[in-house]
Amino acid sequence: TARHRIAVIAGDGIGQEVVPAAVECLDAVGARHGIAFDWHHLDWGSDHYRAHGRMMPVDGLDTLAGYDAIFLGAVGVPDIPDVETLWGLLIPIRRAFAQYVNLRPVRTLPGVPSPLAGREIDLVIVRENNEGEYSEIGGRIYQGSADEIAIQESVFTRRGVERVARFAAGLAAGRRGLLTSATKSNGIVHTMPFWDEVVRGVLADYPGVTGRQELVDALAASLVLHPERYDVIVASNLFGDILSDLAGAVAGSIGCAPSGNLNPEGKHPSMFEPVHGSAPDIAGKGIANPIGQIWSGALMLDTLGHAEAAAELVTAFEAALESGVRTRDIGGTATTAEVAAAVRANLT
């Protein structure tokens, strides 16, 4: 039996609903493949913040370092500034563990109506996850006055761009061999030309991969009009963030979209979480779509070396969707628990 110690942070809002649903499905598929999960539930998040003034304990990152992987729901609530909740948990984890690849596959799923009915989408967004536009450098001066100025620097390093581009090119080489790089070098004159140059340099090492550079504004439109043209998309932290919600919605719903925050070298734990957030507008109703969280669990299985179990879990949720057990965001009436039960039933 393979045993894996997993840190579970259900977090806020619908994280509390979709995480248990996914854990149930992972236990079911694990049982069929000799995989035992030791789930360590950590009650970190906004309630922890309210009680202790912090999203996680002071030594939270040291605690997480000892696990094989981290399984996260979402964090963020309407009454605490996002800068406290996200920069107090999610972003420090991504950085401390050098999870510099945020892998976000997008596919049309059986039975899930897409606004682009009948189109086949099968792409992966490789989002740079440690630097770029998400920087703490900058500040505000003359606060509250008519002359107030806010400055936010972007930081792109050669090492940082190169490693994510290399990962994306390697991924494309094993798929359809097409790598699209999202750029904005027509408007952002220092960082984006640098991004383009480093990506081109990496592509020289991948003769089997066709590189394409697209301006991110046109790329956003093209993703809606011609999503089947894309194989792997590599993008900066902010562009990748925006494109992944867009692509997720185009494929049916962001409720289905998974992600893996990967440390590809395996030196540190990777973290798996859906693309969506805590969805305060539907939290507590039991109607959240758990597919994004379950699929993130499949990415976790894959990363832990269980490709077969991962594929079986994907097949199980696809069959559940196809049979009509779907939440409201994808045209059904099922509850979160009913979807989880249907997925589990396909794994017995």
> In the set 42, 247, 288, 347, which binds ligand NAD (CB under 6 A)?
288
> In the set 45, 76, 105, 240, which binds ligand NAD (CB under 6 A)?
76
Is 59 catalytic? The answer is no
Nearest to ligand NAD of 39, 87 (CB atom):
87
- Comparing CA positions, the residue from 43, 239, 204 lying closest to residue 125 is 239
CB of 159 to ligand NAD, least distance (A): 25
Length of the chain: 348
Q: Are 132 and 155 spatial neighbours (Cβ–Cβ below 8 Å)?
A: yes
HEC string for 227-296:
HHHCCEEEECHHHHHHHHHHHHHHCCCHHHCEEEEECCCCCCCEEEEECCCCCCCCCCCCCCCCHHHHHH
- In the chain, the amino acid numbered 129 is N
User: 30 vs 33, 330, 338, 346, CA distance in Å?
Assistant: 5, 27, 20, 13
Choose among ligand IPM, Mn ion, ligand NAD, none what residue 329 binds, the Cβ cut-off being 5 to 8 Å by kind: ligand NAD
Nearest to ligand IPM of 147, 281 (CB atom):
281
Q: Does 273 bind ligand NAD (CB under 6 A)?
A: yes
Task: Specify the stretch interacting with ligand NAD by CB under 6 A; choose among 72-80, 103-111, 124-132, 223-231.
Answer: 72-80
Q: Does 326 bind ligand NAD (CB under 6 A)?
A: no
Neighbours of 228 (CB within 10 A): 12
Q: Does 7 bind ligand NAD (CB under 6 A)?
A: no
Q: Does 297 bind ligand NAD (CB under 6 A)?
A: no
Task: Give the residue ranges of DSSP H helices in the chain.
Answer: 15-33, 46-52, 60-65, 82-85, 91-96, 158-173, 191-203, 216-225, 237-250, 291-303, 307-322, 336-345
Q: Does 249 bind ligand NAD (CB under 6 A)?
A: no
Choose among Mn ion, ligand IPM, ligand NAD, none what residue 55 binds, the Cβ cut-off being 5 to 8 Å by kind: none
Task: Specify the stretch interacting with ligand NAD by CB under 6 A; choose among 115-123, 161-169, 213-221, 273-281.
Answer: 273-281
Q: Does 48 bind ligand NAD (CB under 6 A)?
A: no
Choose among ligand IPM, Mn ion, ligand NAD, none what residue 255 binds, the Cβ cut-off being 5 to 8 Å by kind: ligand NAD
Is 49 catalytic? The answer is no
CB of 289 to ligand NAD, least distance (A): 3
CB burial readout 172-184, b (16+ within 10 A) else e: beeeeebbbbbbb
Nearest to ligand NAD of 180, 244 (CB atom):
244
Is 230 catalytic? The answer is no
Q: Which residues bind ligand IPM (CB under 6 A)?
A: 86, 90, 241, 275, 277
φ and ψ of 139, to 5 deg: 170, -175
Query: Which residue's C-beta sits nearest to ligand IPM?
Result: 86
CB of 299 to Mn ion, least distance (A): 16
Catalytic residue among 184, 231, 302, 329: 184
Q: Does 109 bind ligand NAD (CB under 6 A)?
A: no
Q: Are 122 and 230 spatial neighbours (Cβ–Cβ below 8 Å)?
A: no
Cα–Cα distance for residue pair 310/291, rounded to 1 Å: 14
Choose among ligand NAD, ligand IPM, Mn ion, none what residue 124 binds, the Cβ cut-off being 5 to 8 Å by kind: none
Is 241 catalytic? The answer is yes
Question: Which residues lie closer than 8 Å to 218 by C-beta, 6 or more apart?
Answer: none
CB of 210 to ligand NAD, least distance (A): 32
Is 68 catalytic? The answer is no
> Known catalytic residues?
142, 184, 217, 241, 245
